[in-house]
Structure 1
Amino acid sequence: MSGPDHIRTAVADAYRDEWGQVVATLIGFTGDWDLAEDCAQDAFAAAMTTWPRDGVPHRPGAWLTTTARNRAIDRLRRDAAGAAKLRTLALTEERDEPAVDEIPDERLRLIFTCCHPALPFPARVALTLRTLAGLSTAEIARAFLTAEPAMAKRLVRAKRKIREAGIPYRVPPAELLPQRLAAVLAVLYLIFNEGYSAVDEGDDRDRRTLTAEAIRLTRVLVRLMPQEPEPVGLLALMLLHEARRATRTDDGVLVTLEFQDRSRWDRALISEGVATLDQALAKQRPGPYQVQAAIAACHATAADAASTDWPQIAALYSELARLAPSPVVDLNRAVAVAMADGIPAGLALVDELAASGLLDGYHLLHATRADLLRRAGRTAEARAAYEDSVGLAPSDAERRYLAERLRGL
């Protein structure tokens, strides 16, 4: 008989590793999202009472899937509609039973269904975290600073939309795969960024859960789609950003890349990120996430701020602007040009962006312009730009940082 702590750890590990697979398998079997989640929860509850007596099974995922499937069958047998559905499922399985090595991983179907373009983007994010990562509604709500009832309604509406719109539970056909994969990657990167941007003490712990889940889900996607380079590029990008997390704030004040303590960066994550990026680039199909990871690698592998390869970073931002045009990308390129070719060259690009009005209300436009004006010795203009950026900054940590820069003038 195993000790209670050992069992709790085993069930927690199985929940983290197997939840998405168990739920995905049950959705594929029953077509009922709520039933799948309920029966998966029942299976993990059963593990807490059965495993102390019988021991942790050699394949916990298989045990949990079988238990959850049996619970689902019992639930379906209790009503006439469910019994009819079971007969249909039995006939389908007898007629179309695939070979074992032909059965696709159900999680891949679940990922693409959760991230279907017909669903509103916030619903895709919430549904992915609920069904694939196993986060509770309360955990998701806390992480996104949203009221729990509102998040619960969002999840209910998403499942209803899947049912009523007949969104297929499948991997999209080849001609739709690039577009749909981009939607999946956007969801995973947003989940990561929501956690990574947590710099205020009050919401830090709950939101940091999101970075771990985003990395874990991206690892799953890489394993499920090994031939696709962009998921690998996204994983590299996440790892390289995560390596710098501990140095991003100091006593609640944001610390910019230039002033971060590089001796505290996680060198193991940087090495893994660079190696992962090399795997993606070896496929010779560059995409936006690979280019962003290459930029992050330039920063992560520089010995200090002074040795950063700014000409290379500027060239990479030009490539990123070609692959994924965006005024934010143009703003970042302007910074790289300023560092590579001189402050006046970069400031001219920033002023062009400001005149275009495309980034009105974006605090980093004003913060970037303020920093370049400061470096150019145009103190009065820098002070006005810093004041604009302080008023627009979305977090206390960023406001404190910008206010300190303003006082430093």
Structure 2
Amino acid sequence: MANKFETIAKDFPILSRRVNSEPLLYLDNAATSQTPNQVLERISDFYQTSNANVHRGVYTLANEATEAYEQVREKVAAFIHAPNAKSIVYTRSTTESLNLIASSFGDLVVNQDDEILITIMEHHSNLIPWQQLAKRTHAKLRYVMLTDDQTLDLQDFRKKLNEHTKIVSVAQTSNVLGVTNPIKLIAKLAHEKHAYVVVDAAQSVAHQKIDVQDLNVDFLAFSGHKMLGPTGIGVLFGKPELLKVMPPIQFGGEMIENVTQTQAKWQQAPWKFEAGTPNIGGVIGLGAAIDYLKAIGMPWIEATERELIERLLPELEQVAGLTIYGPQNVVQHNGIVAFNLKNLHPHDVATGLDMLGVEVRAGHHCAQPLMTTLGVEATVRASLSFYNSLTDMDRFVYAVKMVKEFFDRES
């Protein structure tokens, strides 16, 4: 691992900088990942050699841009084992993808007195769109709760899933609890009740292999910036037969086939959902990020991050006054660790860590209902990536202890 890590670390120029005179230790990968040279260079190359709008011109640059743009759609489909490229819709983010499903598909299938089932661990992006859909349609939004070890309560899921459930939407991996949910089982149970399954894969797509056909989910959403790509590019996978019947919710250039003064006819999916000039550079960067992840290998990434969390979690558990949220069993815990130090505000802890060059997130992590369930207002969150090292884990634990000792002395 060490030799490969050293090679990989050199691909990420930001990792060599210093913060507050200390070497940077970046542990906020759940918020956004860092970007390797290979992705930065591919984006730069596009803008320097082939920059043109897509699907519009017949000249050389336009053809090159369009070909590159559509080739990435093929790459995305292959990366998540989608049936074909037409099942891949480009959006701005996971958030926009989930809003698109709720606003287009949701309005088609959810009616008064129907039920939408989500979990209490959801990010606001996979909560508020369904909350708003329930209000529009006078449907009921229901929540699956947690077990005592803060994993998804499958018994509660089975109890609340019923013939009135039309949509089940769940995060594959929690952005707070460090737990991955059994999506394949959830999809099987939901489909037995004729409900549709939506998956928020923002926290899983860069960390584990995803096969949407094996999982048999109806929709799956993720963002490029959490998988080494640029910001402002997202993906929505949808089963082709469902995308076909969904109406677009944005209108304008390039999503139409024909327009008269009184009516318009849309293109087929996925293009009917991509109104206006898209984030072409973002798509190109997403394709380069996928190439990079595939070159490293998802099995190696999974194994490396498993080794990191197996080093980190037991060491954090030994820090007096530190509470870890999510499963305490390291086998169930992935590379996201949320915690608090007794009598210290998470923002103070994060600020102290920043002074030592360690970058973590502090706050409610866009999961306020979960924070309420946990009985806290906020937590500190460290989130790992394969470009972190075992030495980084040791340094992080040492920094946490240093911050704790500093505030203990001050009090």
TM range (shorter): under 0.3
The TM-score normalised by the length of structure 1 is 0.23
The TM-score normalised by the length of structure 2 is 0.23
Higher relative contact order (CA 8 A, sep 6+): 2
Higher strand share: 2
